[in-house]
Amino acid sequence: MTEFYKLLNRDKKYIIGLMSGTSVDGIDAAIVEVSGHGLETAVSLIAFDTFPFPPGVSQRILALCHPDTGRVDDICEMNFYIGHLFAAAAKHILQKSGMPSNDIALIGSHGQTIHHLPREPNTTRYPSTLQIGEPAVIAHETGIPTIADFRVADMAAGGQGAPLVSYPDYLLFHNSVKTVGLLNIGGIANLTVLPADCSPDAVLASDTGPGNMCIDAVIREITEGRERYDKSGMRAAHGTPYQPLVNEWLKHPFFQLQPPKTTGREMFGNTFAMGCLTACRKHGLSDNDCIATLTELTVRTITDYIAQFVGERNPIDVLYVSGGGVHNRTIMQRLSELLTDTAVEPVDKSGISSDAKEAIAFAILANEALHGQAANLPSATGASVRKILGKFVCP
Ligand SMILES: Nc1ncnc2c1ncn2[C@@H]1O[C@H](COP(=O)(O)OP(=O)(O)O)[C@@H](O)[C@H]1O
Ligand SMILES: [Mg+2]
């Protein structure tokens, strides 16, 4: 523990944040200079990159995510192998920045979610979540103390274990006069709303539904794997969304649930996406029309959520968008069109990189854990109490 006491006394710390989301596109690695903690937190991004998974690894991870293909021996092995890849991503970003590893105080690693079973009505399952990427391997291979497995403490306290970025969002973006929304469009989309001058317990946050996940799955299917996503949203821009199908898909029970709520590949993975593609084909839609229709679904799940649950009480003045979806011009344009009273902007406009934002958040969460600060927001996750998040591993 002496290691940690030494770290605590540093005024400014360099922390590496590591994150791989539900898109399974690669490991985001950020070196962040963090000063202070809690409401005094200030961050500056030193270096960022996405470390792609070696060939075949994304498919192996996706196989683990599904109960029919996720074998226990593969999960056991991949927990350590993904830990090794997270360590490689940390070493890669160190090399890119030219910083020596002993300048780094800590690593905060989200890991790779392979299954997420939040508390749900009408199920007898014990709520649980599983992120792999063994932190002991990361700490050993990098020589840097590592904090990981942030979601489980919130879930143990009755929360959904997500979204966790809403607390870093609060620390970085709360504003005394404006109501700010932070929308991350990864595989799944999640939204934090910070009403003007709000306290932590007034933060509204929830997943809104699929982000890029269904679009990616359908693109892969129709191009037989040649394309992995709709680059810049061009296919959607060249197609026309078929609104009756969008309206039908919006009847999915998840969209009717009261927030806070979380979802993942279990609900909006390949089975859901292939059902959508079949429905599109039944209506004679072209490939680009299918993509446009799924893109419109993503947009409408976000704008309907805002209309239904954020409502007139907390009109959002500015909506900062992050995650890969920020590069999809069709999504960004449709959000602007539908959210007429809100300025929709990439979060980069605020000085935070949209690609790095989630990795930065896990550097902040590691810093909060080091300082013994509770970092879940019960208003966002539904937990019964505030908890210090993360497990510490010494190198
Ligand atoms: N240039 C781009 N144009 C359109 N979509 C993009 C682009 N770059 C990334 N994306 C989308 O963003 C996804 C990755 O987003 P990311 O924020 O990393 O999600 P996650 O957190 O789930 O890994 C990709 O799978 C893709 O759908
Ligand atoms: Mg990603």
- Choose one of 350, 367, 385: the last residue of a domain: 350
Look at residue 169 and tell me if it is in a domain: no
CATH code of residue 200: 3.30.420.40
Same-domain check for residues 139 and 234: no
**pLDDT for residue 138 is more than 70:** yes
**pLDDT for residue 7 is more than 90:** no
Same-domain check for residues 143 and 184: no
Question: pLDDT digits over 207-232, tens only?
Answer: 999 999 999 999 999 999 999 999 99
Same-domain check for residues 24 and 74: yes
Look at residue 54 and tell me if it is in a domain: yes
pTM: 0.94
Binding site membership of 26 for ligand 1 (Cβ less than 6 Å):
no
Q: What count of other Cβ atoms lies within 10 Å of the Cβ of residue 289?
A: 20
Same-domain check for residues 282 and 381: no
Residue type, 127: P
Same-domain check for residues 155 and 272: no
Domain count along the chain: 2
Same-domain check for residues 158 and 245: no
Question: pLDDT digits over 270-319, tens only?
Answer: 999 999 999 999 999 999 999 999 999 999 999 999 999 997 788 999 99
What sign has the CA pseudo-torsion 351, 314, 166, 172?
positive
Same-domain check for residues 43 and 129: yes
- Return phi, psi of residue 131, to 5°: -110, 130
The ligand 1 atom at the shortest distance from the C-alpha of residue 228 is 25
Pocket residue to mutate for ligand 1, from 25, 183, 299, most atoms within 8 A of Cβ: 25
Look at residue 26 and tell me if it is in a domain: yes
Kind plus residue range of the DSSP H or E element containing 93: helix 72-97
Q: How many angstroms separate the CA atoms of 260 and 74, rounded?
A: 32
Look at residue 378 and tell me if it is in a domain: yes
Look at residue 143 and tell me if it is in a domain: yes
Query: With pLDDT > 90 as the criterion, what percentage of the chain qualifies?
Result: 93
Position 9 scores a pLDDT of: 73
Binding site membership of 328 for ligand 1 (Cβ less than 6 Å):
yes
Position 4 scores a pLDDT of: 64
Same-domain check for residues 205 and 304: yes
Beta partners for 192? 182, 205
Peptide bond between residue 100 and the one before it cis (omega within 30 degrees of 0) = no
Same-domain check for residues 122 and 183: no
C-beta of residue 170 within 8 angstroms of C-beta of residue 203: yes
Q: How many angstroms separate the CA atoms of 279 and 22, rounded?
A: 24
Give the domain extent around 57: 2-164+356-393
Binding site membership of 324 for ligand 1 (Cβ less than 6 Å):
yes
| 8-state DSSP, 23 | T
